[in-house]
Structure 1
Amino acid sequence: MQQKRNIQIIEWEDLDKRKFYSFGVFMTMTIRATVYPATLIRTRLQVQKGKSLYSGTFDAFFKILRTEGVRGLYRGFMVNTLTLISGQAYITTYELVRKYVSDYTSDNMLKSLVAGGSASLVAQSITVPIDVVSQQLMMQGFHGGEQLTRFRLAVPQVDAGAAGKLQSKRMFGHQTRDIVSQIFAMDGLRGFYRGYVASLLTYIPNSAVWWPFYHFYAEQLSRLAPSDCPHLVLQAIAGPLAAATASTVTNPMDVVRARVQVEGRSSVIETFKQLIAEEGAWGMTKGLSARIISSTPTAIVMVVGYETLKKLSLRPELVDSRHW
């Protein structure tokens, strides 16, 4: 435990903001590109009815790869990259709120809980409109039979055989504009915040659950590991464990969120009831393995990469005063 207390925390005022944001955008873009296929698979699994098209994460991966190619795994990715804005907003809010809470408490766990919840609130306000559009693009090529009749948007489907012919006629920009126009025509600006409440009910608790479990796992690992084990290694293990736990706890609401946003539903409660009626408790686990797969590298980057990012962004005059 002594080793844990000796870790130096780099606070907001210690950072060179220009370096911090430059490195942060690169890091966030890299991790999003890596986990995006798992995010797309998770969305399709959560939206499909039962197992009418995909039986699981790996089945979905190979079917998409076979019928739609690598491009199919990255449908909607360009729109989703706009969430880089929300990522930077999350980091900024987290650090500023943490700094503010520091005036009232020295408890790092409490500071992280409050800052994480606040950051999620700000980030989701930016992310939800992007998600609504990118999720519709994710469903391109999704030939789920009866499911397609349930989607609110009549988005033209692109299958593998026609992809080449349509590429010159219906490029990414045209599809995106079509989706944006249809959403606005149906619901106005409100349509872009479809599932906003469900998103808040998913990601704020996810952030709140992640931190306590992260500290718990780190503490348990520090007791079991040899005394000379680097603290960074323990963090790298505790992060994914906490992410898997948080994903499992909040996955039911994540399934509801995906259905509300993709199918155009307006009621979180009614969507939840219908999901239980149609698929039972098992429906609450849809996409869980894909979600854990995508959250694991994110957790490693969050724990290890983020601290490294802050070290690289340390103000020049403070570099020699810090020892790791």
Structure 2
Amino acid sequence: MGSERYNFNMKQALVAGGIAGTAVDVALFPLDTLKTRLQSKSGFKASGGFRGIYSGLTSAVIGSSPGASAFFVTYEYMKKKLGSIFPDSKYLPFIHMIAASGGEVVACIVRVPTEVVKQRMQAKQYSTTSSALKTIFNQEGLNGFYRGYFSTVIREIPFTCFQFPLYEYLKIVVAKKTDRNYIEPWEAAICGSVAGGTAGAVTTPLDVIKTRIMLSAKGQTIHNYSGTINTFNRILHEEGVKALFSGIGPRVIWISIGGSIFLGVYEKAKKTLCEYDILA
């Protein structure tokens, strides 16, 4: 039994994904800022505390729409293709893991540069987006914008391998419980919240590692981190296991609410586009 009410195309998935990405990033930006500052080696207060919690919003908005669009187009395309190759329902978790992982790899090409700028501004390293862009490019070149790319992908793939199979499974369960072969957007929002919060808690250490690497500037001698394994070992030896779960509270709250908004808005936007034959 499926959980899709409408047949949609990739153009509709592209637009719906962009709407969903922008909605969730703007709505939850303050929580994301607090999480970043809690994970900073400099400490919460030194990184800005509760001041300027919208620092870096411009960068986030610029990257959220194309990043989410890239994810959903890749995810939906791979899900359909793999579904035709492996039609047996026992392969669904595998299909969702592979499709979501592919979506994240593509989305991170767009997302990481904006994430680097956003997180450094959240940590009060730069005061404006333009100064952040100029300084990073002058000091680190184009590679500076992709600092933490692999640690981000390493974090996102386990996260998405938890989130999307669980999300798709919950959608099927809800559809069966309600004697329908589809679910409504508000139901998808609840499924997204549960799946996102669970995945967020499990992958918090990977998020801490990614944040430390992104906050490190080239030439920085103190608090400089490079490489996922090296960063993991340093945090573990210098600060203990507890530090690997820094910001888990805001992260779980943020991703639970974010999963609800992101997937709820995506399903609602997709439904609206299909109902009114927009981009059909």
Question: Cα offset for 1:22?
Answer: 4.8
The structure with the largest alpha-carbon Rg is 1
Establish whether residue 293 from structure 1 lines up as the match of residue 253 from structure 2.
Answer: yes
User: In 2, are the aligned partners of 1:94 and 1:119 still within 8 Å (CA)?
Assistant: yes
Out of 79, 84, 104, the position equivalent to 1:103 is 84
- The alignment partner of 2:156 has SS state of helix
- Alignment partner, residue 260 of structure 1: 213
Contact 2:32 2:250 in 1 (8 A): yes
- Write the distance in 1 (CA, Å) between the matches of 2:5 and 2:80: 12
Q: How far apart are 1:303 and its partner, in Å? A: 3.6
1:219 & 1:25 partners in 2: Cα distance? 25
For 2:203 and 2:254, the matched residues in 1 are separated by 15
Amino acid at match of 2:31: A
Report the alpha carbon displacement of residue 121 of structure 1 after superposing the two structures with TM: 0.4
**Aligned pair 1:85/2:69, yes or no?**
no
CA contact (8 A) 1:93 1:119 kept: yes
Partner of 2:221: none
Identity %: 24
Runs (5+) with no aligned partner, structure 1:
55-59, 141-154, 157-171, 319-324
Please show how residues 17-96 of structure 1 align to structure 2 within 5 Å: 17=11, 21-22=14-15, 24-49=17-42, 53=45, 64=50, 68=51, 72-83=52-63, 84-96=65-77
The aligned residue for residue 241 of structure 1 is 194
Which residue in 1 is equivalent to 2:137?
184
Count residues in correspondence: 265
Amino acid in structure 1 at the alignment position of 2:139 = M
Q: Does structure 2 conserve the Cα–Cα contact (< 8 Å) formed by 1:12 and 1:96? A: no
Name the CA shift for 1:215/1:75 in 2 (closer, same or farther; >3 Å).
Answer: same
Q: Partners in 2 of 1:220 and 1:312 — Cα distance?
A: 23
3-state SS, counterpart of residue 203 of structure 2 = helix
Question: What whole-Å deviation, never above 9, does each CA across 1:108-147 have from its counterpart, x for those lacking one?
Answer: 443322211100000011111111111111122xxxxxxx
Cα offset for 1:10?
Answer: 3.7
| 1:269-300 deviation per Cα after TM superposition (whole angstroms, max 9, x unaligned) | 22111111222111111111111122122212
TM-score (norm 1): 0.71
1:8-29 alpha-carbon deviations (Å, 9 max, x no partner): 354443x7x3x65555444432
1:44 partner amino acid: R
- Take 1:115 and 1:307, find their aligned partners in 2: how far apart are those partners? 17
* 2:23–2:261 CA contact under 8 A, matched in 1: no
Question: 2 CA distance for matches of 1:235 and 1:23?
Answer: 14
8 Å Cα contact 1:86/1:124 also seen in 2: yes
Aligned-residue offset at 1:204: 1.3
CA distance in 1, matches of 2:84, 2:168: 22
Aligned to 1:168: none
Going from structure 1 to structure 2, the CA distance change for 1:256 and 1:24 (only over 3 Å counts) comes to closer
SS at match of 2:84: coil
What is the RMSD of the two structures over their aligned residues, measured on CA atoms?
A: 3.1
255 and 188 in structure 1: CA distance in 2 versus 1, 3 angstrom threshold: same
Structure 2 unaligned spans of 5+: 218-224
CA distance in 2 between counterparts of 1:42 and 1:317 reads 40
Counterpart of 1:271? 231
TM-score by structure 2 length? Answer: 0.81
The residue number in structure 1 matching 2:271 is 311
Structure 1 residues 227-238: aligned runs within 5 Å:
231-232=183-184, 235-238=188-191
Instruction: Measure, in 2, the Cα distance between the counterparts of 1:217 and 1:7.
Output: 10
1:159-238, aligned counterparts within 5 Å?
Answer: 175-215=128-168, 231-232=183-184, 235-238=188-191
CA drift at 1:103: 2.4
Q: Shift of residue 208 of structure 1? A: 0.8
Q: Give 1:7 shift.
A: 3.5
Distance 2:269 2:98 in 1: 22
Q: C-alpha displacement at 1:234, in angstroms?
A: 5.3
